[in-house]
Amino acid sequence: MKVAIIGAGAMGSLFGGSLAGVVDEVCLYSTNKAYVEAVNKNGLIMTQGDNKWVVKARATSNPAEIGEADVAIIYVKYTGTRQAVQDAMVSCVTPNTMVVTLQNGIGNVDIIKEYIPEDQIVYGLSTLTSDVKAPGHIEMTTLSKVGTSMWPLNGVVTPKLEKLMDLMNQVNLNADIAPDVNERIWRKLMVNACENTLCAILKVNVTDLMINTPESYEIARQIIFEVSDVARAKGMNISREEALKHVMKVTYAVPGHVPSMVFDILNKKKTEIGCINEAIANEGKKLGVPTPAVETIARLIRALEANYDRTIKHHR
Protein backbone atom coordinates (compact mmCIF):
# COMPACT_ATOMS: atom_id res chain seq x y z
CA MET A 1 0.00 0.00 0.00
CA LYS A 2 1.25 3.47 -0.91
CA VAL A 3 0.13 6.29 1.37
CA ALA A 4 0.40 9.98 0.53
CA ILE A 5 0.20 12.55 3.31
CA ILE A 6 -1.20 15.78 1.90
CA GLY A 7 -0.15 18.35 4.46
CA ALA A 8 2.81 16.98 6.42
CA GLY A 9 2.66 19.25 9.44
CA ALA A 10 2.66 18.05 13.04
CA MET A 11 -0.21 15.59 12.63
CA GLY A 12 0.41 14.61 9.03
CA SER A 13 4.01 13.79 9.94
CA LEU A 14 2.85 11.77 12.94
CA PHE A 15 0.66 9.59 10.71
CA GLY A 16 3.08 9.43 7.80
CA GLY A 17 6.09 8.70 9.98
CA SER A 18 4.24 6.05 11.95
CA LEU A 19 2.87 4.29 8.86
CA ALA A 20 6.22 4.35 7.03
CA GLY A 21 7.34 1.17 8.74
CA VAL A 22 4.30 -0.92 7.79
CA VAL A 23 3.34 0.22 4.27
CA ASP A 24 5.16 -0.11 0.96
CA GLU A 25 5.75 3.62 0.57
CA VAL A 26 4.91 6.94 2.22
CA CYS A 27 5.16 10.26 0.44
CA LEU A 28 5.06 13.37 2.61
CA TYR A 29 3.73 16.37 0.69
CA SER A 30 4.29 19.83 2.13
CA THR A 31 4.55 23.33 0.71
CA ASN A 32 7.13 24.06 3.43
CA LYS A 33 10.40 23.69 1.53
CA ALA A 34 12.51 23.75 4.71
CA TYR A 35 10.56 20.70 5.93
CA VAL A 36 10.98 18.88 2.62
CA GLU A 37 14.72 19.54 2.53
CA ALA A 38 15.19 18.45 6.15
CA VAL A 39 13.27 15.18 5.72
CA ASN A 40 15.00 14.25 2.47
CA LYS A 41 18.41 15.01 3.98
CA ASN A 42 18.08 13.75 7.54
CA GLY A 43 14.87 11.70 7.64
CA LEU A 44 11.77 12.59 9.65
CA ILE A 45 12.76 12.94 13.31
CA MET A 46 10.06 11.78 15.73
CA THR A 47 10.55 12.16 19.47
CA GLN A 48 8.54 11.43 22.59
CA GLY A 49 10.28 12.44 25.78
CA ASP A 50 13.69 10.76 25.78
CA ASN A 51 12.76 8.42 22.91
CA LYS A 52 13.81 9.27 19.37
CA TRP A 53 13.09 7.70 15.98
CA VAL A 54 14.42 8.70 12.58
CA VAL A 55 12.10 7.65 9.75
CA LYS A 56 13.26 7.46 6.16
CA ALA A 57 10.47 8.74 3.94
CA ARG A 58 10.22 10.66 0.70
CA ALA A 59 9.10 14.30 0.94
CA THR A 60 8.18 16.70 -1.82
CA SER A 61 6.70 20.14 -2.38
CA ASN A 62 5.91 19.39 -6.03
CA PRO A 63 2.40 17.91 -6.51
CA ALA A 64 3.50 16.16 -9.70
CA GLU A 65 6.08 14.17 -7.71
CA ILE A 66 3.61 12.63 -5.25
CA GLY A 67 2.55 9.91 -7.67
CA GLU A 68 -0.49 7.66 -7.61
CA ALA A 69 -1.48 6.55 -4.10
CA ASP A 70 -3.74 3.88 -2.69
CA VAL A 71 -4.58 6.17 0.24
CA ALA A 72 -4.29 9.94 0.44
CA ILE A 73 -4.61 11.41 3.94
CA ILE A 74 -5.53 15.11 3.90
CA TYR A 75 -4.05 16.77 6.97
CA VAL A 76 -3.82 20.47 6.15
CA LYS A 77 -5.55 23.21 8.07
CA TYR A 78 -9.09 24.10 7.02
CA THR A 79 -7.94 27.24 5.21
CA GLY A 80 -5.74 25.12 2.94
CA THR A 81 -8.17 22.29 2.18
CA ARG A 82 -9.26 23.40 -1.27
CA GLN A 83 -5.70 23.95 -2.50
CA ALA A 84 -4.55 20.68 -0.93
CA VAL A 85 -7.21 18.66 -2.75
CA GLN A 86 -6.38 20.40 -6.01
CA ASP A 87 -2.69 19.61 -5.47
CA ALA A 88 -3.47 15.98 -4.64
CA MET A 89 -5.40 15.58 -7.87
CA VAL A 90 -2.35 16.52 -9.97
CA SER A 91 -0.79 13.05 -9.65
CA CYS A 92 -1.94 11.38 -6.45
CA VAL A 93 -5.69 10.78 -6.56
CA THR A 94 -7.04 8.27 -9.06
CA PRO A 95 -10.49 6.60 -9.18
CA ASN A 96 -8.95 3.87 -6.97
CA THR A 97 -7.58 6.22 -4.30
CA MET A 98 -9.21 6.34 -0.89
CA VAL A 99 -9.14 9.94 0.34
CA VAL A 100 -9.13 10.27 4.13
CA THR A 101 -9.64 13.48 6.09
CA LEU A 102 -8.86 13.57 9.80
CA GLN A 103 -8.78 17.37 9.90
CA ASN A 104 -10.05 19.54 12.70
CA GLY A 105 -13.54 20.97 12.74
CA ILE A 106 -16.47 20.66 10.37
CA GLY A 107 -16.66 21.78 6.76
CA ASN A 108 -13.63 20.08 5.22
CA VAL A 109 -15.70 17.21 3.82
CA ASP A 110 -17.95 19.65 1.97
CA ILE A 111 -14.92 21.07 0.15
CA ILE A 112 -13.44 17.65 -0.64
CA LYS A 113 -16.79 16.48 -2.07
CA GLU A 114 -16.54 19.17 -4.73
CA TYR A 115 -13.60 17.30 -6.26
CA ILE A 116 -13.75 13.67 -5.09
CA PRO A 117 -16.65 11.19 -5.48
CA GLU A 118 -18.34 10.39 -2.17
CA ASP A 119 -17.59 6.67 -2.45
CA GLN A 120 -13.85 7.45 -2.27
CA ILE A 121 -14.05 9.68 0.84
CA VAL A 122 -13.45 8.57 4.42
CA TYR A 123 -13.78 11.11 7.22
CA GLY A 124 -13.05 11.14 10.90
CA LEU A 125 -10.74 12.49 13.56
CA SER A 126 -7.78 11.70 15.74
CA THR A 127 -7.27 12.75 19.34
CA LEU A 128 -3.54 12.04 19.17
CA THR A 129 -1.40 15.16 19.44
CA SER A 130 1.92 16.28 18.03
CA ASP A 131 3.98 19.48 18.02
CA VAL A 132 6.50 20.74 15.46
CA LYS A 133 9.88 21.24 17.10
CA ALA A 134 11.87 22.19 13.97
CA PRO A 135 11.66 21.54 10.22
CA GLY A 136 11.48 17.76 9.89
CA HIS A 137 11.20 17.17 13.65
CA ILE A 138 7.97 16.47 15.54
CA GLU A 139 7.35 15.74 19.22
CA MET A 140 4.53 13.31 20.00
CA THR A 141 2.75 14.72 23.04
CA THR A 142 0.00 12.17 23.84
CA LEU A 143 0.70 10.22 27.02
CA SER A 144 -2.42 8.06 27.43
CA LYS A 145 -4.21 5.90 24.90
CA VAL A 146 -6.46 8.02 22.73
CA GLY A 147 -7.68 7.13 19.31
CA THR A 148 -8.37 7.69 15.64
CA SER A 149 -11.88 7.16 14.27
CA MET A 150 -12.89 6.79 10.62
CA TRP A 151 -16.09 6.21 8.66
CA PRO A 152 -16.80 6.07 4.90
CA LEU A 153 -18.93 8.94 3.68
CA ASN A 154 -21.23 6.57 1.79
CA GLY A 155 -21.47 4.16 4.75
CA VAL A 156 -19.87 1.24 2.89
CA VAL A 157 -16.84 -0.22 4.70
CA THR A 158 -14.33 -1.53 2.13
CA PRO A 159 -11.45 -4.00 2.52
CA LYS A 160 -9.05 -1.13 1.84
CA LEU A 161 -10.42 0.83 4.81
CA GLU A 162 -10.20 -2.25 7.02
CA LYS A 163 -6.58 -2.79 5.92
CA LEU A 164 -5.71 0.85 6.67
CA MET A 165 -7.24 0.49 10.14
CA ASP A 166 -5.18 -2.66 10.77
CA LEU A 167 -1.97 -0.94 9.63
CA MET A 168 -2.69 2.07 11.85
CA ASN A 169 -3.21 -0.21 14.82
CA GLN A 170 0.13 -1.92 14.19
CA VAL A 171 1.85 1.43 14.82
CA ASN A 172 -0.23 2.63 17.80
CA LEU A 173 -2.47 5.06 15.95
CA ASN A 174 -5.34 3.32 17.74
CA ALA A 175 -7.80 3.33 14.85
CA ASP A 176 -11.34 2.08 14.62
CA ILE A 177 -14.12 2.20 12.04
CA ALA A 178 -16.85 4.13 13.84
CA PRO A 179 -20.47 4.53 12.70
CA ASP A 180 -20.87 7.21 15.41
CA VAL A 181 -18.01 9.28 14.01
CA ASN A 182 -20.13 12.46 13.83
CA GLU A 183 -20.66 12.38 17.59
CA ARG A 184 -16.95 11.81 18.11
CA ILE A 185 -16.15 14.76 15.84
CA TRP A 186 -18.39 16.95 17.99
CA ARG A 187 -16.65 15.72 21.11
CA LYS A 188 -13.37 16.86 19.61
CA LEU A 189 -14.99 20.15 18.61
CA MET A 190 -15.67 20.72 22.31
CA VAL A 191 -11.94 20.49 22.93
CA ASN A 192 -10.89 22.60 19.95
CA ALA A 193 -13.49 25.32 20.48
CA CYS A 194 -12.13 26.17 23.91
CA GLU A 195 -8.52 24.98 24.04
CA ASN A 196 -7.26 25.87 20.57
CA THR A 197 -8.81 29.31 20.72
CA LEU A 198 -8.16 30.32 24.32
CA CYS A 199 -4.60 28.99 24.25
CA ALA A 200 -4.04 31.11 21.11
CA ILE A 201 -5.50 34.24 22.71
CA LEU A 202 -3.65 33.79 26.02
CA LYS A 203 -0.51 32.17 24.51
CA VAL A 204 -0.48 29.31 27.01
CA ASN A 205 -0.53 25.51 26.85
CA VAL A 206 -3.59 23.39 27.63
CA THR A 207 -2.43 22.54 31.15
CA ASP A 208 -2.07 26.18 32.14
CA LEU A 209 -5.37 27.03 30.46
CA MET A 210 -7.56 24.31 31.96
CA ILE A 211 -5.84 23.26 35.19
CA ASN A 212 -3.61 26.04 36.49
CA THR A 213 -5.77 29.09 35.76
CA PRO A 214 -9.31 29.14 37.23
CA GLU A 215 -10.33 32.24 35.27
CA SER A 216 -9.63 30.74 31.84
CA TYR A 217 -11.10 27.41 32.94
CA GLU A 218 -14.43 29.13 33.63
CA ILE A 219 -14.48 30.68 30.15
CA ALA A 220 -13.64 27.30 28.61
CA ARG A 221 -16.36 25.65 30.68
CA GLN A 222 -19.00 27.98 29.25
CA ILE A 223 -17.81 27.31 25.70
CA ILE A 224 -17.96 23.54 26.30
CA PHE A 225 -21.52 23.82 27.60
CA GLU A 226 -22.61 25.79 24.53
CA VAL A 227 -21.07 23.28 22.12
CA SER A 228 -22.80 20.51 24.06
CA ASP A 229 -26.12 22.35 23.71
CA VAL A 230 -25.71 22.53 19.92
CA ALA A 231 -24.67 18.88 19.71
CA ARG A 232 -27.74 17.81 21.69
CA ALA A 233 -29.96 19.91 19.42
CA LYS A 234 -28.45 17.96 16.52
CA GLY A 235 -29.56 14.70 18.14
CA MET A 236 -26.36 13.68 19.92
CA ASN A 237 -26.60 12.43 23.48
CA ILE A 238 -23.81 14.52 25.04
CA SER A 239 -24.74 16.24 28.32
CA ARG A 240 -22.94 19.34 29.55
CA GLU A 241 -21.37 17.36 32.40
CA GLU A 242 -20.22 14.58 30.10
CA ALA A 243 -18.77 17.13 27.67
CA LEU A 244 -16.76 18.83 30.41
CA LYS A 245 -15.51 15.47 31.69
CA HIS A 246 -14.40 14.52 28.15
CA VAL A 247 -12.46 17.75 27.61
CA MET A 248 -10.68 17.39 30.94
CA LYS A 249 -9.80 13.74 30.17
CA VAL A 250 -8.19 14.84 26.89
CA THR A 251 -6.39 17.70 28.66
CA TYR A 252 -4.83 15.38 31.23
CA ALA A 253 -3.77 13.03 28.41
CA VAL A 254 -1.69 15.74 26.68
CA PRO A 255 0.08 17.71 29.44
CA GLY A 256 1.83 20.83 28.20
CA HIS A 257 0.44 20.47 24.67
CA VAL A 258 0.38 23.69 22.65
CA PRO A 259 -2.44 23.69 20.05
CA SER A 260 -1.52 24.63 16.50
CA MET A 261 -3.68 27.76 16.60
CA VAL A 262 -1.21 29.27 19.06
CA PHE A 263 1.51 29.06 16.42
CA ASP A 264 -0.88 30.43 13.78
CA ILE A 265 -1.38 33.55 15.89
CA LEU A 266 2.30 33.87 16.81
CA ASN A 267 3.30 33.49 13.15
CA LYS A 268 0.53 35.82 11.95
CA LYS A 269 -1.23 33.18 9.88
CA LYS A 270 -4.90 32.54 9.17
CA THR A 271 -6.43 30.21 11.75
CA GLU A 272 -9.00 27.41 11.54
CA ILE A 273 -11.63 29.43 13.39
CA GLY A 274 -13.97 29.15 10.39
CA CYS A 275 -14.41 25.38 10.83
CA ILE A 276 -14.48 25.45 14.62
CA ASN A 277 -16.19 28.24 16.61
CA GLU A 278 -17.73 30.01 13.63
CA ALA A 279 -19.09 26.73 12.27
CA ILE A 280 -20.50 25.82 15.69
CA ALA A 281 -22.15 29.23 16.02
CA ASN A 282 -23.69 28.85 12.56
CA GLU A 283 -25.12 25.45 13.52
CA GLY A 284 -26.48 27.01 16.69
CA LYS A 285 -28.26 29.75 14.71
CA LYS A 286 -29.88 27.15 12.43
CA LEU A 287 -31.18 25.25 15.46
CA GLY A 288 -32.10 28.24 17.64
CA VAL A 289 -29.40 27.47 20.23
CA PRO A 290 -27.60 30.54 21.66
CA THR A 291 -23.79 30.40 21.67
CA PRO A 292 -22.60 33.79 23.02
CA ALA A 293 -19.27 32.60 24.43
CA VAL A 294 -18.45 30.57 21.30
CA GLU A 295 -19.21 33.59 19.11
CA THR A 296 -17.25 36.02 21.29
CA ILE A 297 -14.13 33.86 21.12
CA ALA A 298 -14.52 33.59 17.34
CA ARG A 299 -14.67 37.38 17.07
CA LEU A 300 -11.58 37.75 19.25
CA ILE A 301 -9.62 35.38 17.00
CA ARG A 302 -10.79 37.29 13.91
CA ALA A 303 -9.79 40.55 15.61
CA LEU A 304 -6.31 39.17 16.28
CA GLU A 305 -6.01 38.14 12.62
CA ALA A 306 -7.17 41.58 11.48
CA ASN A 307 -4.51 43.32 13.57
CA TYR A 308 -1.45 41.25 12.71
CA ASP A 309 0.19 44.18 10.94
CA ARG A 310 -0.63 46.75 13.60
CA THR A 311 1.77 47.04 16.50
CA ILE A 312 1.91 49.24 19.56
CA LYS A 313 5.23 50.88 20.27
CA HIS A 314 6.39 50.53 23.83
CA HIS A 315 7.40 53.67 25.70
CA ARG A 316 8.94 53.93 29.14
The domain limits of the chain are 2-178, 182-306
- Whole-angstrom CA distances from 201 to 132, 221, 269, 271, 313 are 19, 16, 14, 12, 20
Q: 2 with 68: CB under 8 angstroms?
A: yes
Task: Provide the whole-model pTM.
Answer: 0.89
Tell me what pLDDT residue 314 has.
67
Q: 102 with 185: CB under 8 angstroms?
A: no
Under CATH, which number does the domain 2-178 receive?
A: 3.40.50.720
Q: 69 with 27: CB under 8 angstroms?
A: yes
Integer Cα distance of 130 and 143 in angstroms: 11
Residue 121 pairs with which residues in a beta bridge? 99
How confident is the prediction along the chain (316 residues), in pLDDT tens digits per residue?
A: 999 999 999 999 999 999 999 999 999 999 999 999 999 999 999 999 899 999 999 999 999 999 999 999 999 999 999 999 999 999 999 999 999 999 999 999 999 999 999 999 999 999 898 989 999 999 998 766 778 999 999 999 999 999 999 999 999 999 999 999 999 999 999 999 999 999 999 999 999 999 999 999 999 999 999 999 999 999 999 999 999 999 999 999 888 999 999 999 999 999 999 999 999 999 999 999 999 999 999 999 999 999 999 877 766 6
- Per CATH, 2-178 and 182-306 having the same topology is answered no
> E strands within 110-159?
121-126, 130-134, 137-140, 148-152
Under CATH, which number does the domain 182-306 receive?
A: 1.10.1040.10
Q: 24 with 17: CB under 8 angstroms?
A: no
